[in-house]
Amino acid sequence: MTVIQRPQDKLRTPKPLKKPARFTPPWPLNLYQTAIGKKWVMGLTGLGLVGFVVAHMIGNLHLYEGQLEVAEYAHSLRTIGAGLVPETAVLWVLRLGLISMFGLHIHSAITLSAMNRAANSRYQAPRDFAAANFASRTTRITGIIIALFVVWHLADLTWGFTGGFMGWRGDGFNHGDPLWNVDNSMSNVVIAIWYMIATTAVAVHLFHGIRSAFISIGLSSPKFNPLIKPLAAGIAGLVLVGNLSFPIMVMTGALEADEPLDVHELIATEFKEAAE
């Protein structure tokens, strides 16, 4: 893009903040070079991740069914489409989709933030914001909390690295036994509080993110707008209540596992029967 300048403007139009791109990839990749294209990516990946967060929260509710049932649910996730493709193949396709959505979401956030920092010049007196709310002003902070939390959460409840973490955690990690692991992790007050902070950060992030995504991908109209805020608040609230309940229930002792399950044994026997 070249800036048109009338001769008398030569001195007046400020220098562009952005240099023209040296190399333009073919469509549609060139969209990602522009801020609005990045916002589309951010909005679409964001909505995809919202879908994941909601599905994850609903899946978590299996914890309330009992130790055996939630282990069976976990097993069935790992073996989606097991009759047709190798075990965990479908799961890995889903996981790769999730990882790339996370990656793109974070990358576009970082590059857009850098652009905004360059375009900004700080006011010397305090600002009086009218429309920007707590959620919208803190998306970057809640985003960083969520990114850290995701790493922790995988280490804690997927990989089990935190099994003997500084002696904080109870009786170690039992692969494929969610209730046992959740109970052991969240019986520690510090870990439970960290889960609650992160869950709150997710909800706050979603509240602004969902509303924002609709504008970024051009879904906004006088008729549709009054629905967007309640929708965002509803989804954020649902995720918040659902996910906060787990650390709270573990601490009150309502969610408890007495014995680790012998998951290998179960896969060979009961889960197989259930599948058939």
Partner 1 sequence: MEETLNITLKVWRQDGPDERGRFETYDAPNIGTDMSFLEMLDVVNENLNEDGNEPIAFESDCREGICGTCDLMIDGKAHGPEKGTATCQLHMRKYSDGDTIVIEPFRAASFPILKDLAVNRSALDAIVMAGGFISVNTGAAPDANLIPVPKEASDQAFDAAACIGCGACVAACPNSAAQLFTSAKIQHMNLLPQGQAERWKRTEAMVETMEMFFGSCTNHGECHDACPKEIPLDLIAWTNRDYIKSKNKNRKLAGQKG
Q: Considering only the stretches 31-39, 54-62, 75-83, 94-102, report the one whose residues sit in contact with partner 1 under the rule CB under 8 A.
A: 31-39
Give residues 200-219 in contact with partner 1 (rule: CB under 8 A).
Answer: 208, 211-212, 214-219
Other Cβ atoms within 10 Å of 35 Cβ, number: 14
* Nearest CB to partner 1, comparing residues 58 and 132: 132
**Which of 23, 84, 123, 190 touches partner 1 (CB under 8 A)?**
123
CA–CA dist 19, 69 (Å, integer): 57
**Which of 130, 151, 166, 190 touches partner 1 (CB under 8 A)?**
130
Q: Considering only the stretches 53-61, 128-136, 165-173, 194-202, report the one whose residues sit in contact with partner 1 under the rule CB under 8 A.
A: 128-136
* Nearest CB to partner 1, comparing residues 84 and 131: 131
Residue 14, classed as helix, strand or coil, is: coil
**Which of 83, 126, 167, 226 touches partner 1 (CB under 8 A)?**
126
Least Cβ distance, residue 109 to partner 1 (angstroms): 10
User: Residue 7 interacts with partner 1 (CB under 8 A)?
Assistant: no
The 9-28 site mask, x for binding partner 1 (CB under 8 A), equals x--xxx-xxx--------xx
Least Cβ distance, residue 207 to partner 1 (angstroms): 12
**Which of 60, 76, 88, 136 touches partner 1 (CB under 8 A)?**
136
Residues that bind partner 1 (CB under 8 A): 1, 3-6, 9, 12-14, 16-18, 27-28, 30-31, 34-40, 112, 115-116, 118-132, 136-137, 139, 208, 211-212, 214-222, 225
